Amino acid sequence: MGNMKLNLKIWRQTGPNAKGQMKDYPVNDVSPDMSFLEMLDVLNDNLVRKNEDPIAFDHDCREGICGMCSLFINGEAHGPARGITTCQLHMRRFKDGDTIHVEPWRAQPFPVIKDLATDRGAFDRIQAAGGFVSINTSGNLVDGNALPIPKDDADKAFDAATCIGCGACVATCPNGSAMLFVAAKVSQLSLLPQGRPEAKRRALAMVEQMDKEGFGNCSNTGACEIECPKQISLEHIARLNREYLVATVTKE
Amino acid sequence: MGYNVKAFCYQDSARRAHSIAAQGGINAAKNYQNDGDSTYRLFYDTVKGGDYRAREANVYRLAEVSANIIDQCVAQGVPFARDYGGLLDNRSFGGVQVSRTFYARGQTGQQLLLGAYSALMRQVGKGAVQMFDRHEMLDVVVVDGKARGIIARNLVTGEIERHGAHAVLICTGGYGNVFFLSTNAMGCNVTAAWKAHKRGAFFGNPCYTQIHPTCIPVSGTHQSKLTLMSESLRNDGRIWVPAKLEDAKAIREGKKKGSDIAEADRDYYLERRYPAFGNLVPRDVASRAAKERCDAGFGVNQTGEAVYLDFGAAIERYGKLEANVKKIENPSKEKITELGTAVVSEKYGNLFDMYENIVGENPYLHAMKIYPAVHYTMGGLWVDYNLQTTVPGLFCLGEANFSDHGANRLGASALMQGLADGYFVIPYTVGDYLADDIRTGPIDTKRPEFEAAEKEIKGRIEHLLTNKGSKPVDDFHRRLGKVMWDKCGMARNAQGLQEAIAEIRQIREEFWKDVRVTGKAGEFNQELEKAGRVADFLELGELMCMDALNRNESCGGHFREEYQTPEGEALRDDANFAYVAAWEWTGDAGKANLHKEPLTFEEVKLTQRSYK
Ligand SMILES: Cc1cc2nc3c(=O)[nH]c(=O)nc-3n(C[C@H](O)[C@H](O)[C@H](O)COP(=O)(O)OP(=O)(O)OC[C@H]3O[C@@H](n4cnc5c(N)ncnc54)[C@H](O)[C@@H]3O)c2cc1C
Ligand code: SF4
Ligand code: FES
C-alpha cells in the first residue's frame, strides 16, 4: 500500500470562550503504518515550520490505556474502528483521497480548552463523590485471601474496572449522559465484598454528582456501549439502576 | 495523617499517570503457592537481579512490605485475578523461579493505579487533598537549606504559580524519554527531578537504563513511541534469526518470508547461548543478544533491526496436547494448528490483537517481529533510607528515585517499589521530618527565593518563545535520542561516550539558538511544554554519558564493551565499582561532582550472574 493524500477538516478554537470553526488541512504522504496521532504530529510539524499554530489535542500513553486521547473522527468517538482508542487507530483504516472530519468531544459538561482538547474534570468530581472504598492506608490489614471472591464476580468486576475514563460514552450519547462511566465504577465496587458495605451510598452520591455536573439522562439508546473503546457492557447500567433504586427506596 | 496536601500532575486527571500502562503484574512474597518463596528469597532475587548494585537494607524493607501492598490493594477493591477457589492467582514472571506475581489480566498497572486514584479522590472529596491537574512543576524552592515549595505552570492558562509547603515529594516517574523513542508515555519527563537536582539533590546512577527485549520495532521516521509486548510472551515464543546472512538479506528485501526458512537454517540464539534459561534470560541479556545478531547483519525487517518471536512450535505443541485431551486420533496438521492456535489465543489473545492492530500483520500466521526498546530508568534522584534527597524536606518516590533495583530491575518489581514507597515508607519518614517543623508557620510565598525562582522560569519561557528559531522542538529531541540510543544505549564504549558528550553539547547549543516555539506563554501551549522538557533532557543526557563513562565495568543494564567476559557477558568490577554514583550539580552539565556511596553486602554473596 502506497502513501496517501488526505483532506482533513479539523475543528480549531483558540480558547474556551472563542468561537470555533472547521478548517481544511490537505496532507500528503501519509503512510498507512502511521497511527492517527502520528499523522497529526506530522501535520503539526509542518504547521510549526510554517510558523502557524499547531493543533492542540490530548494524548499521553499512545497505547490505549490512559484515556487521554479523545477525538471525534468522521462523526464517531475514537473513529471508525471498534474496541480501540484514537491513539490505536492506524491510517491503514483510510483510503487515498479520503476526507476526514476531526472534532473534539462535544458535551456541555466537557467544555473545549483549545481546538480538540476538552476539560473532563467532571469525571474526577464524580469519582470524588463516592467512587472508592472508604479504607485508609495502614499496615494492619486483613490478608488478601481472607475473603475468597468467586472467580466469576472477580472477572465481572474486572471487566467493569477496565473503563479508562475517556468520555467517549458521553460524547456519543445523544443526551450527553455519563451513565456508562458511572455504572462501570459502581458495578466494579458493588461486585466485590470490599465495596459492598457502601454500595448504596456510593450509587446515590455518584449519580447525584453526575446530575449536578449537567450530564443528561440515560434513555437506553446503547450508543455508548458501541463506541466505548473498552467495550463496557450496558449490563453495568442495569446494575447501577438496581443499586440506585434500592438505595432510594431504602433511604426514605 | 491529617496533613494538608496539594497534589500535582501534568495530565488532565491523576488517573492517567503512566503507571497505568504496566501490564504484567506486581511481585509480593506471599508464598500463597507454597513454592518456597519468602521475604528473604524476594530480597535475594532483587539484589542479584540488580547485579549487586542496590542497597541491601532498602531491598530487604521492600521485600518485607511487599505482602502488605497486596492486602492494601485488595481492600481498595482492586480486582486481581482469582482462581476457581476464589483465592488470589499468581504467575511466574521476569526470570524468577517462583510464582509470586499478582496480576489483573494484562492490565495490572491500570488496576493498581485506579485503586490509588480512588483513594486519592476520596481525600479530595473530603478536602484533605487539593488536586492540581494540568499543572507542571517547573522548580523546587529552597529556603534556608530546606525544600519549602514549588513553582508550577498551569498548563491551561499558562499562569506561573507559587505553592509553599513544609515538605515536597517528587513522584514524577522515569526519564526514558531522553531517548525520544521509548515505551513511556509522550509526556513522561525528567523536569521535576532535574530541577530538584539543580537545586542541590544528588542524582544517583543516571546511566542505568533498562532496555526491554520484546517491543514492536520502529516502522518509520514518523514513529512517536514504542509499544511493549508483554514479557510473558517469552514463556511460549521462541526467538530466532536466520542462520545464513543471505537468508536475512532476502527477508529484508522482501524476497523471502520467515516461514520460508527451514528449521535447520534458523538460529535460536538464546537457546544456543543460554541452554539453561533459553528464551527466559533476564531482560538485559536478551536485549543485548538481539542487538548482537542484528549488528552482525541478521535482522529481519527493512531497517535490519528486528528478530522473530515465533509461536509456531508452541502452537504445534499445544495443538498435540489438546488433540490428546480431546482423544482425537492421528489429527491432521491443520487440526493441530487449529487447536493450538485456540490455546495460544486464549493465553495471549489481547497481545496478538494489539500487535496486529499496530503492525497490520497476523501474528498467528507470521512470526512476530520484535526489537528491544528503552523501558525503565533505574537511576534517579539519590535518596537515603527515608527516601529523602540530599535537600532536607525534599523526598523522592517511585521510578523517579534511584533506590532498590541496582543496575537492572526485575519484572513486576517497579509497581511493588512505587507502592511500597508511597503506602508503607513515606507515611512514616515524612512524619518524622515534619515533627521538627511543627512550629514553622505557613510558608510565605512572597519570599525572595520564590520571587527569584519564578523570575528565572519566566525568563526561560520568554526566551523560548521569542527566540525566532527555525526548527521544531521534536527535531532536537530526535537528534538527542539518536545519540543516546547509539552511544549510551544497549552497549557503550569510552570513545562513543566521549563523542556523545560532545554531540549533546552541540545539540544543546543549537537548541537554545535555533528552536522554534510557536504560540504564547499565557495559553494552552503544548509546544512550549515539550520545549521545556527537551531542554532538561539535553542536560540530563550529558550526565548519563558521564556516568556511563565513569563506570569502567559492565553491570546489569550498563554494558561497557571494553568490560566483558570472553563469552560476551557483562564483567563487573566489584573491587572498584561497588558504589552508588551520586552526582552533584555545580552549575554546568559537564562539571558535575561525583560522590560515592559504598555498597556493602552482609547477606548476599557477590557472584557472576550466569544463565547458562
Ligand atoms: C509499558 C510499560 C509496562 C510496564 N509493566 C510493568 C509491570 O508489569 N510491572 C511493574 O512492576 N512495572 C512495570 N512497568 C514499570 C512501572 O509501570 C513504572 O516504573 C511505575 O509505574 C512508575 O510509577 P511512578 O508512580 O513512579 O511514575 P508515573 O506513574 O509515571 O507517575 C508520574 C506522575 O508524576 C506526574 N508528573 C511527572 N512530571 C511532572 C511534572 N513536571 N509536574 C507535575 N507532575 C508531573 C505525572 O503526571 C504522573 O502523575 C512498566 C512500564 C511501562 C512503560
Ligand atoms: S465507559 Fe467506555 S467510553 Fe465511557 S469513559 Fe469508560 S472507557 Fe470511555
Ligand atoms: S493516548 Fe492514552 S489512551 Fe490514547
What is the grid cell recorded at B175? 526519564
CA distance B406 to B339: 43
Cα separation, A54 vs B462, whole angstroms: 19
Q: How big is chain A by its Cα radius of gyration, in Å?
A: 21
The residues near B450 (Cβ < 8 Å, ≥ 6 apart) are B141, B149, B151, B162, B164
Tell me the C-alpha distance between A111 and A116, whole Å: 10
Q: How far is the CA of B185 from the centre of ligand 3 (A)?
A: 9
Closest CA to A38 of B412, B93, B198, B220: B220
Q: Comparing C-alpha atoms, which of B69, B18, B60, B23 is closest to residue B171?
A: B18
Domain count, chain A: 2
Q: What's the gap in Å between the CA of A222 and the closest CA on chain B?
A: 25
Nearby residues of B515 by Cβ (< 8 Å), 6 or more positions away:
B464, B467, B469, B471, B472, B473, B476, B531
Q: Tell me whether residues B185 and A61 touch, CB distance under 8 A.
A: yes
What's the burial of B292, exposed, middle or buried (CB within 10 Å: 0-12/13-18/19+)? middle
Angle between helix A199-212 and helix A121-130 axes, rounded to 10 deg: 150
Note whether B105 contacts A158, CB cutoff 8 Å.
yes
Tell me: do A244 and A132 sit in the same domain.
Answer: yes
Q: Give the three cell numbers for residue B28.
A: 509480593
Location of C-alpha cell 525572595: B448
Is the pLDDT confidence value at A252 over 70?
no
- Chain A: closest CA distance from residue B102 (Å): 11
Query: What CATH number is associated with residue A189?
Result: 1.10.1060.10
| Boundaries of domain holding A225 | 121-249
Q: Are residues A132 and A242 in the same domain?
A: yes
- Domains belonging to chain B, first-starting first, are 5-168+407-435 (3.50.50.60), 211-374 (3.90.700.10)
Does residue A104 share a domain with residue A39? yes
Q: Please name the residues in contact with B502: beta carbons below 8 A apart, sequence gap of 6 or more.
A: none
Q: Are A68 and A74 in contact (CB under 8 A)?
A: no
Residue nearest to atom 7 of ligand 2 (CA): A163
Of the candidates A84, A113, A142, which is a domain's last residue?
A: A113
Residue A63's pLDDT is 95
Assembly ipTM: 0.97
Q: Are A168 and A227 in contact (CB under 8 A)?
A: yes
Shared domain for A163 and A85, answered yes or no, is: no
How many residues make up chain A in this entry?
A: 252
Element (H, E) at B132: strand B129-132
A97 and A184 both lie in a single domain:
no
In a shared domain, residues A49 and A164 = no
Residue A39 shares a structural domain with residue A103? yes
Q: pLDDT, tens digit, for every residue of A94-121?
A: 999 999 999 999 999 999 999 999 999 9
Question: Is B20 touching A (CB cutoff 8 A)?
Answer: yes
Look up the pTM and report it.
0.97
Nine-digit cell string for B488: 549510551
Q: What is the pLDDT of residue A123?
A: 98
Alpha-carbon distance B89 to nearest alpha carbon in chain A (angstroms) = 10
Question: Catalytic pick from B41, B283, B479, B560?
Answer: B283
Helix (H) or strand (E) holding B285: helix B283-293
End-to-end CA distance of chain A: 65
Rounded alpha-carbon distances, angstroms, from residue A159 to A50, A211, B293, B466: 46, 25, 41, 50
- Report the mean per-residue pLDDT for chain A: 96
Whether A205 and A239 share a structural domain: yes
* Cβ-based burial of A61 (10 A; exposed 0-12, middle 13-18, buried ≥19): buried
CATH classification at residue A98: 3.10.20.30
* Contacts of A243 by beta carbon, 8 Å cutoff, 6+ apart: A186, A190, A199, A200, A202, A203
Q: Which residue matches cell numbers 537468508?
A: B247
Q: How confident is the model at residue A138 (pLDDT cuts 50, 70, 90)?
A: confident
Adjacent-strand bridge partners of A100 = A8
Residues contacting residue B53 through CB under 8 Å, at least 6 positions apart: B205, B208, B406, B407, B555, B556, B578, B580, B599
**Does one domain contain both A133 and A230?**
yes
**Ligand 2 centroid to A159 CA: how many Å?**
12
Question: Residue A167: CB within 6 Å of ligand 2?
Answer: yes
The predicted pLDDT at position A1 comes to 62
Tell me, what's the pLDDT at B227? 95
* Cβ contact, residue pair A60, B185, below 8 Å: yes
Report residue B148: phi and psi, to 5°. -130, 15
Q: Are residues A163 and A239 in the same domain?
A: yes
| Domain-terminating residue out of A55, A84, A113 | A113
Which residues in chain B touch residue A53, judged by CB atoms under 8 angstroms apart? 518-519
CA-proximal residue: ligand 1, atom 3 (nearest): B22
Number of residues assigned to chain B: 612
Query: Is there a single domain that holds both residue A74 and residue A150?
Result: no
User: Which of A113, A142, A169 marks a domain boundary?
Assistant: A113
Cα–Cα distance, B71 to A145 (Å, whole number): 8
* Domain identity same for A130 and A88: no
pLDDT along chain B (612 residues), means of 10: 92 98 94 95 94 97 97 96 94 82 93 98 97 98 97 98 98 98 98 98 98 94 93 91 97 95 97 91 90 96 95 96 94 95 89 92 95 97 98 98 95 96 96 91 96 98 96 98 97 98 98 98 98 98 98 97 92 97 95 97 89 78
